[in-house]
A = this chain, B = another copy of it.
Amino acid sequence: MDDVRLIEVKEDILADNAEAADALRARLGRDGTFLLNLMSSPGAGKTSLIERTAEAVAGTLRLAVLEADIDSTVDAERLLARGVHSVQLHTGGLCHLDAAMTGQGLAELDLAAWDVVILENVGNLVCPAEFDTGAHRSVAILSVPEGDDKPLKYPLMFRTVDAVVVNKTDYLAVADFDLAAFRERVQRLNPDAPVLELSCRTGDGLEAWVDWLRGEVDAIR
């Protein structure tokens, strides 16, 4: 009996969240601010991709960041040191962000002053995929050392995103990573999501990523 009650609670949470997410998108739309939800495992390169993206769009898009972390301020400090405006969100142990938490973070920003806000979600391939954060687009990063089998193991993540970034392609020479197999696994789950290969360390492939982002920003305006 306990199990059934818990499932109902979860359904209520997800329904309330979907409503809050739609309201958040409406609020963002009034200021023409694009919100991107960036998800990955710990260490796949979310913060690095944000740093690289901020460099690439400097002078053309005003970019701010919401940094979600369970506990630390490591990433927000790292971005601040690069001159990237960043708000830290602590989830207090929670493994994901929902629309309400995202809304609390956005309330710290003057939305009219920003073209793009990137939400760096908690490092996790499971729970963040279940919650609509209110973002216009969601992206999953998979780094080469994690392995090409991850779409088989975390299908919801790869099914729900609008694009997949393969980071750390500079590791391809030393890792057992079958890029063709990975692409096929993603496509089977999510035929419309582009798979963008890049290396935040070397800069290879970043142009295509930034082009994709610009296109999506334009699409909501």
Contact = CB atoms under 8 A, between A and B. Distances in A.
Interface residues of A, number: 36
A58 interface: no
Contacts of A124: 95, 124-127
Contacts of A170: 174
Interface stretch (A24-32, A106-114, A146-154, A213-221): A146-154
Interface string A67-94: 0011110110000000000000000010
Interface string A41-76: 111000000000000000000000000011110110
A145 interface: yes
A67 to B, nearest CB: 11
Given A41-B43, A126-B122, A126-B124, A168 B152 contact: no
Given A122-B126, A125-B124, A93 B42 contact: no
Copies in the complex: 2
A69 B71 CA distance: 26
A130 interface: yes
A9 interface: yes
A60 to B, nearest CB: 29
A37 B146 CA distance: 20
Nearest to A130: B93
Interface in A4-51: 6, 9, 13, 41-43
A146 B72 contact: no
A156 interface: yes
30 contacts: A9-B9, A41-B146, A42-B147, A42-B154, A69-B153, A70-B154, A71-B153, A71-B154, A72-B149, A72-B152, A72-B153, A72-B155, A74-B149, A74-B152, A74-B153, A75-B153, A93-B126, A93-B130, A93-B156, A95-B95, A95-B124, A123-B125, A123-B154, A124-B125, A127-B127, A145-B145, A145-B171, A170-B174, A171-B174, A174-B174
